[in-house]
Chain A
Amino acid sequence: MQLTVGISEMKVSTDPKDTLITYSLGSCIGVALFDPGAGVGGLIHCMLPLSRLDPDKAKKNPQMFTDTGVPALIQTLLDRGGTRKRMIAKVAGAASPLNDNGMFKIGERNYVVLRKVLWKNEILIAAEDVGGTVARTMSLHISNGKTTIRSGGKESEL
């Protein structure tokens, strides 16, 4: 079954028939986390880097922010039998407009915050497709952890 992950949402599955997909990753960051040993995978689509922007909104919806959403994703995988050591992280998004004069560095900041969260959790980024000005669609197949990126009409494995 194809499960769509909306903006500021995450989905986690252990069903090998499931594919998790998220559309229109612009400056947002998408993280596909997969534990092959436990057969559990999750996908998150975070919009903004830091929850301190609006702690009330972060409380209601931690997935909106990279610094609260990604730890929530890791924890959910742990709760479903995953272990940090086996987790494979793949990352996409973090684009910016063309002449980014600092005001729209949201993509770059999303990526920096993500690296910090993963580093704290001792999870390495196995593959990434980040930056530039393109919008990306990201999918995670729960059967084997295969992660694909679609951008500009072309699809490739990450």
Chain B
Amino acid sequence: MSQREEILARVSTISALPTSATQMLALANNPDAQIEDVQRTVEYDPGLVTNLLRLANSAYFGTGGAINSVREAVVRLGFKRVFQIAMTSAVAPIAQKEIRGYDLPRNGLLRHSAATALAVEYLPKRLSMRVPDATYTAGLLHDLGKIVLGTYLEINSAPIVIKAYRESISFEIAEQMVLGTDHAEVGAALLEYWKLPQVVIDSVRWHHDPNKYPHEDKTVVDLVHLGEHVARICGTSSSTDGMNYSVCVESLDRLRVVPDVLELVASDVLGSLEEICSIFN
């Protein structure tokens, strides 16, 4: 078995998604799902109820008035938002942990994940585009491969760091050269194991190289790619990989991005990030 195969095989040893998140994924694929089904799923998980009510009343997810019950949250926010909150609530405890292999302190990956999830929604708004449904989830989950590599496998990042910085090559390419795989491929394998939608899995898989995304419509992967760069502008890089990544020029062209837009999105993200992160602290 190659090192790559060994690493990818380890994905199945990682804790499963909480039952409520798995049930929400099933409801997302069920056209007959009713409000009561969503309400029951949320109420089954007391942690999710708490997080749903907090996030439903935040400036970013909220709708203005106070939301006091799960039913009210489901009715007023709609399934898409409740689904996003369930995913955030499910991954927060995992993403909050310190990741030694990437020198990420406690809450480091959660901040980066939340900043990217916010950026991929603010960016299309600033470009007057519709926000595709899967974008938030793909942005939120894009770097979970780092947990597998940096925590469960405790990779020694030193040879990767040396290669990336000395040879000026994008960090994920240095990972491929040293490990035979990278955090994007490992993250996609984890999401496949968790049975996330294919568009989310593929966007995570190719978030550093959107041109290889195997579908014609590259909107979601382009947004995740650029959203992650914006998240780095917002000071959520780890000290291991820093900003040592390439920018896909074609993503900028496809989305018709102009420089001011990226700065505006960074300021939007910063305005919501603390509130979202503080809910989980």
Q: Please list the residues of chain A having a beta carbon within 8 angstroms of any beta carbon in chain B.
A: 6-8, 23-28, 45, 47-48, 53-54, 57, 64, 95-107, 133-137, 150-153
Q: In the bound complex, how far is the Cα of B232 from the Cα of A123, in angstroms?
A: 29
Residues of A within 8 A of B234 (CB): 7, 47
Given contacts A48-B263, A53-B260, whether A64 and B235 have CB atoms under 8 Å apart is no
Q: Mostly helix, strand, loop or mixed at chain A's interface?
A: loop
Interface size range on B against A: 35 or more
Interface members, chain B 204-244 (any A CB < 8 Å): 229, 232-240, 242-244
Q: Determine if A64 and B270 form an interchain contact, defined as CB atoms under 8 angstroms apart.
A: yes
Q: Determine if A26 and B242 form an interchain contact, defined as CB atoms under 8 angstroms apart.
A: yes
Which residue of B169, B239, B274 contacts A152 across the interface (Cβ within 8 Å)? B239
Q: Determine if B237 and A103 form an interchain contact, defined as CB atoms under 8 angstroms apart.
A: no
* B198: Cβ under 8 A from any A Cβ: no
Q: Determine if B236 and A24 form an interchain contact, defined as CB atoms under 8 angstroms apart.
A: yes
B183 to chain A, nearest CB (A): 16
Q: In the bound complex, how far is the Cα of B247 from the Cα of A6, in angstroms?
A: 26
- How many residue pairs, one in A and one in B, have C-beta atoms under 8 Å apart? 115
Q: In the bound complex, how far is the Cα of B266 from the Cα of A57, in angstroms?
A: 12
Residue of B nearest to A154 (CB): B239
* B161: Cβ under 8 A from any A Cβ: yes
Residue of B nearest to A98 (CB): B246
* B264: Cβ under 8 A from any A Cβ: yes
Interface members, chain B 246-265 (any A CB < 8 Å): 246-247, 249, 252, 257, 259-260, 262-264
Q: In the bound complex, how far is the Cα of B229 from the Cα of A105, in angstroms?
A: 12
A-B pairs with beta carbons under 8 Å apart, 11 shown: A27-B243, A95-B243, A96-B243, A98-B168, A98-B170, A105-B259, A106-B233, A106-B262, A135-B238, A152-B239, A152-B242
Q: Determine if A153 and B264 form an interchain contact, defined as CB atoms under 8 angstroms apart.
A: no
Output the residue of A6, A98, A107 with the most chain B CB within 10 A: A98
